[in-house]
Structure 1
């Protein structure tokens, strides 16, 4: 059995679904169900006995201790995090609380549990921490991609909180011997992606006839990875990664935000054409956000060389699958765009009409 934190969020839910599709090993899915955690992501396994959902906070060490003692997981896969840069600018405290204090709490519970194990159960245990390429800061056009030895230089409260959590995880290996693994991944996209992020926001806004807001000049560069490829990478690191090591996970797909939006518009023109004109007509440039990193890029050679992993999807094939999924799942989109999400949009952008529909484009 494995223990997954944040398994009702975008990447976590995809991982849980992918895990249960690949093998019969049960999953304890531990999620606080904040605005980005959504049990509808897991509707297809609602009746699956291999999936045990527990609502809880990673800051609740007593509850974690109880669950570890009860279920005796062989591994912990830690997705739970606040992850939206714009939200971190508006309210950084939640990011420090969840990403730093929460990871510390989880590490303490994991350490106590692991130290009580013996024999093969102790030697085979793993704590896999899922992180981001944003901890490395920003790159200029000619800089080499981020490698596992790139110095940390986070530029937002979000990335700083994730960098702090990475350092805590590393320290628990070097100080206590806890067998940890860390993955730093590039931008994910795919099914169940919350629509405050670039790709799902553009799809949903385009279909609703709204502006397609592009920050600044739209030339910010990101490396894009289809979420199922990320799930495969995590499974491989959990299976064969060396304790104490970090593995960068990327798609070898550097794209500007504007080119991503153009490609999305062209796909929608093919798959759900408008009565008149192109979806590109809805593009609107809006004021850039403070401290917007210019370029991220991942050097994923280590994980390919040492563990044999590389992405199966190209950006084009993955994006077509993503658009098709959103076109086929209107009910899911409507559900996640109600309530707290709309309150957030109003809070964040009510004072700046030009940014009314702009969201995180990390």
Structure 2
């Protein structure tokens, strides 16, 4: 059997009729190459099935061409979509992606995960774990040689960050309900320790306060549908009338809708619901869910690009934060409250009467 010849940089250069230095610039992405020349080199690479020796290149430049993504539960919508966006951007740039789970909340768990990624000699890390400003700065102190872009810290924290403008999205949701005429609004929050959730909660509070309002009730969940269901049961058991619920993510909104349906309440005739995230299932719920769209794949790609900028920049220079703005998607789960519709209080009275009659 004839041994297959290893394709080299020189072979690609010969086929493309360019210098080896030009091929190297195209492969590594360093230096200017005319678009037509770049296309000719890429065609030659594809024709010859040339595989660049990343290990040799990495040793020469002290790079492994791998990055880490440290994130929380991948079963949740946001981390899974962020992973997809980051992986695509990394692959297109010639990097491999190592995903590692941050198993708990707080600095200790983040430190453990980052230590493992550093041992794998990644060039840098994208960190999607909820940290306050002090903990984010402590991460930088503990890992001075590991470039890191933070994805879940408070805006204004003096660290490289790629964030979604949570306050803006939360204001859009609250203002939508207020413009429809709702004045009795309840919250189903996510875990209050989360930086993301705190930003949404505070923006909801401030938006209501600007109209002289406060939430009539607040219940906390853990981002899961089951916790949204349980939180809604607690709201209903409180006996305080409300006509709308702001929900901290769409997955909890699934449980909210189930709990209201079981209690005979119609959405939006009795209660309007606004979620957050715009998961693919949100438009298929009954009724389709009004929500705040967060483009996680785009954020993932922008975060990876930001990390590359950090890798190439002077470590002593400050790095601007990359901010992605959400948008409101209005569907059928919200409507104006109406005197002709059954209010939540009336529904509760009906339910109590029915239960009393069974006794």
Q: TM-score, normalised by structure 2?
A: 0.36
Higher RCO, Cα 8 Å, sep 6+? 1
- Which structure is larger by alpha-carbon Rg, 1 or 2? 2
